[in-house]
Amino acid sequence: MCFFKKTEPKPEIELSEVQSGTIFSELGNLGLQPLYSRLDSKYYQPTDEGWAEALLYIYKTQEVPIYTSDTMDCEDFAMWLKVMLNIHFHINTCAFVIGDIPQGKHGFNLLRLSDGWYVWEPQPSFDAPFTIGTHGYEPEVYLI
């Protein structure tokens, strides 16, 4: 079994440091509750362009999981993406979240961009981050 789709040059992505207090304050101001206390004391995030490059690299080079009810469903995709970004780029400002969408409870990600937190659907459904509330995505709890 091959775990990599193909070899692709890994982009150099500049990261900026963000203190954990800032992260937790911002997410708290959005009305979200942490699933666990701080996992890291410092967080690292790319520029908005860096996010685009990192996400493109992950989806082009990694074997994107196939949806399987219960064993590889929404929250598993969200965990997968969080881990892939951390492994490949040391980006730890991708939050794993559980919240509501029109169909019910759902797992997805939040990305910290230059002007705030945005939803990212890790299953190949949308091709760009979108504002919280769009498409009915309402996060409730997070792990970062």
Full set of structural domains in the chain with CATH: 15-143 (3.30.460.70)
Dist. CA 48–CA 95, nearest whole Å: 16
Q: CA nearest 26: which of 128, 118, 91?
A: 118
- Predicted confidence (pLDDT) per residue in 98-118, tens digit: 999 999 999 999 999 999 999
pTM assigned to the model: 0.88
> Mean pLDDT, to the nearest integer, of 85-109?
96
Name residue, tokens 């979240």: 97
Q: CA nearest 110: which of 124, 99, 96, 122?
A: 96
> Mean pLDDT, to the nearest integer, of 61-82?
81
Categorize the per-residue pLDDT at 1 as very low, low, confident or very high, splitting at 50, 70 and 90: very low
- Residues 6 or more apart whose Cβ sits within 8 Å of residue 78: 96, 97, 107, 108, 109, 122
Categorize the per-residue pLDDT at 2 as very low, low, confident or very high, splitting at 50, 70 and 90: low
State residue 63's pLDDT score.
78
